[in-house]
């Protein structure tokens, strides 16, 4: 158990809908990272927040957004969902702002029908 928690574990929704994925980092970690894992693209970095502020951005679509709250938990919002958004979404956390020594959560499996 990495200490990173994610909810929900599974999410099934329809095209055009909006969903929110939630992540709680390990105790003491200030950075939260979001990743998308699909069979064809592998593990792709989406975005990082450090102590409430956006720190780094990867291949995140404009339909996706994230935020980190004062208690350091983070939410990833996915809107206008398309079939191709079906994937595993992982959250990771680390102590500092640098993206090393990241610990991953168990993931949320999103299925868009």
Partner 1 sequence: GENVEQHPSTLSVQEGDSAVIKCTYSDSASNYFPWYKQELGKGPQLIIDIRSNVGEKKDQRIAVTLNKTAKHFSLHITETQPEDSAVYFCAAIERSNYKLTFGKGTLLTVNP
Q: Which residues bind partner 1 (CB under 8 A)?
A: 2, 4, 33, 42-43, 45, 48, 55-58, 90, 97-107
Phi and psi at residue 84, to the nearest 5°: -70, -10
Cβ nearer to partner 1, comparing 79 with 104:
104
DSSP 28: T
| In the complex, minimum distance from the CB of residue 107 to partner 1, in angstroms, rounded to a whole number | 5
| In the complex, minimum distance from the CB of residue 92 to partner 1, in angstroms, rounded to a whole number | 8
Cβ nearer to partner 1, comparing 25 with 107:
107
CB-facing half-sphere around the CA of 62: CA atoms within 13 A: 0
Question: Which distant-in-sequence residues (6+ apart) come within 8 Å of 95 by Cβ?
Answer: 28, 29, 30, 31, 101
| In the complex, minimum distance from the CB of residue 14 to partner 1, in angstroms, rounded to a whole number | 24
Cβ nearer to partner 1, comparing 79 with 103:
103
Structure tokens at 31: 């950075």
């Amino acid at each position: 158990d990495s200490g990173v928690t994610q909810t929900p574990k599974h999410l099934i929704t329809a095209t055009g809908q909006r969903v929110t994925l939630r992540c709680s980092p390990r105790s003491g970690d200030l950075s939260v990272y979001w990743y998308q894992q699909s069979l064809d693209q592998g593990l792709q970095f989406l975005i990082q927040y450090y102590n409430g502020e956006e720190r780094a951005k990867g291949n995140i679509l404009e339909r996706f957004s994230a935020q980190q709250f004062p208690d350091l938990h983070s939410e990833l919002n996915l809107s206008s969902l398309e079939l191709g958004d079906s994937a595993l979404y992982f959250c990771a956390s680390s102590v500092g702002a640098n993206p090393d020594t990241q610990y991953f959560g168990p993931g949320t499996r999103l299925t868009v029908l």
